[in-house]
Amino acid sequence: MAFNKKTIEDVDVAGKRVLVRVDFNVPQDETGRITDDRRIRAALPTIQYLMDHKARVILASHLGRPKGGPDPKYSLQPVAARLSELLGRPVPLAPDSVGDQVKAQVDALSDGDVLLLENVRFYPEEEKNDPAYAEKLAALADLYINDAFGTAHRAHASTEGVARHLPAAAGYLLKKELDYLGNTIEDPQRPFVAILGGAKVKDKIPVIESLLPKVDTLIICGGMAYTFFKAKGYEIGKSLLDDGSLDFAKRVMDEAGEKLMLPVDVVAVDGNPFGGDPDALHAETVAADKIPAGREGVDIGPMSVRAFTAVIQGAKTVIWNGPAGIFEIDRFAEGTKGIAQALADSGATTIVGGGDSAAAVEKLGFADRITHISTGGGASLEFLEGKTLPGVAALQDK
């Protein structure tokens, strides 16, 4: 899956107005303070290249899910402030993403200047990929660069629509994501191990189907594992069950044989881990086939961590998507931490698919020891499923 799209280096940007779709959908606390600026930092190489090559840079992003109109809670003002700090120069925030005022600000840009447009999702037309809104966005620029892998699986006005009106190429981050994920899937160094966690089996069915023929070992953990246990006939107590996926789980176990690894022990609690104080719950580690009837599995146990670690240590390529337990609660993060530690310590090419596993690796302090952490949760999943991403398909071929 060689990357055959034009990139930022294949187009002449000097003196041009360049509209760059970035993914600045960053988490914030109640006060609006950004709690994780990884996505902003990930876009810096593209922005810096454009500044250095005398482009007039117009950045577009969404933030959160505003309900069909402007909402101060979802303003990109905190992002503009943080980006100004990172670039060491002021980045003004436009009052809107289209319109006369914005056009005037764009016209006033000098070579090397950067302007951030206000949240594109203040217009419902963005997510509807409305042609008129896409045309207004495109009218601001001479060129379009997509550097937002996190939204590349969505056909929105700012990810797909504008590419119909402007010469369109990939930024550094988008190319890096597709290179890592694409090369890994197409031509991995073996042994190739995939670790899939998270809550529901049905969300990962296409990924399991896509990866199973390609990997040497498929490890299933997290909430998904209990559906597999149930399919084996184990008692799973009050653990998460994806009832509609039991037949699929049986089929996977039949097809995969020795290739599939499930946890051998789990941490089970005697109440709702989200209902009050999780530290007050009685927790014990039990064998995977010995979960007591009234208990709920919340993490993998130490024997599972050791078994998975041994496989990871022998691997040359490891891809991980989805935590091993309720990692948001420190007490039930040990399994996820164990997997993150094993990836950090391994000599393999390690790729963490976005979303919760990326957040876990970051939170647990292993981020700088992972080969590649994807910035896209849904996008990396769809890419691993073998789907075409509309935001990528819309770019010009080399």
Catalytic residue among 5, 39, 176, 238: 39
- Specify the residue for token string 């922005």: 47
54 is catalytic: no
For 112, phi then psi, to 5°, come to 90, -5
Catalytic annotation, pick one of 164, 200, 202, 369 = 200
DSSP conformational letter for 67: -
DSSP codes, 233-300: T---TTS---GGGHHHHHHHHHHHGGGEE--SEEEEESS-TTSS-GGGS-EEEEETT---TT-EEEEE
Q: Is 354 helix (H, G, I), strand (E, B) or coil?
A: coil
Q: Is 347 a catalytic residue?
A: no
N-term to C-term CA, the chain: 14
**Catalytic residue selected from 64, 112, 271, 378:** 378
Residue/partner pairs of 284-293 with CB below 8 Å, 24 or more apart: 288/225, 288/229, 288/234, 288/262, 288/263, 288/264, 289/229, 289/232, 289/234, 289/235, 290/235, 291/229, 291/234, 291/235, 291/236, 291/237, 291/239, 291/266, 292/235, 292/237, 292/268, 293/235, 293/237
- What strands lie across the sheet with 296-300, from one edge to the other? 283-287, 265-269, 296-300
Would residue 316 show up in a list of annotated catalytic residues for this protein?
no
Residues belonging to the chain:
398
Q: Based on the residue annotation, tell me whether 377 is a catalytic residue of this protein.
A: no
Determine which one of 161, 338, 355, 391 is catalytic: 355
Helix (H, G, I), strand (E, B) or coil at 3: coil
Catalytic annotation, residues: 39, 200, 355, 378
